[in-house]
Amino acid sequence: MMAGVAIHTVDSLWHAAGSLELRFRLAPGHAQGQYSGVFGMGMGLCYTVAPSLLGLLCVTWGTPGWLVMGGVFVAAGLAMPCVPQWAGSSREIADTD
C-alpha cells in the first residue's frame, strides 16, 4: 500500500510539473491565457468523455476493450515526450527569469 501511495504521489508531481510546462513555458507571453484555457478545456473534455469510453470499451467489450485502452495509454505515453520537444523546436520558449 505504501509503495502505491509513493508511486501515485511521484506521478502527481510529474503531472503537475508537466502541465505547467505545457501551459506556461511553451506558450508565448501574450497568449498564456489562451494556452491555459485550451489546456483546461482539454482536461474538461477528458473528464466528460472518459467514463463513457471506459464503460463502452472495458465493460461492454471485456478483455479486448481493456487491451485497446492499454494500447491507447501506451501510445499516448510514447508520444508525449515528443510533443514538448517539437513545440520547443518550432517556437521560442518563454523566458522564465
- The tens digit of pLDDT for each residue in 45-84 reads 989 999 998 888 889 999 999 999 999 999 988 988 888 7
**Three-state secondary structure call for residue 21:** helix
| Helix/strand/coil percent split, the chain, to 5 | 85, 0, 15
pTM for the model:
0.63
Q: Which residues contact 65 (CB under 8 A, 6 or more apart)?
A: 56, 57, 58, 59
State the pLDDT at residue 45: 92
DSSP 53-93: HHIIIIIIS-HHHHHHHHHHHHHHHHHTTHHHHHHHHHSPP
| pLDDT of res. 41 | 92
- Rounded Cα distance between 55 and 74, Å, is 19
Q: Which three cell numbers stand for residue 76?
A: 499516448
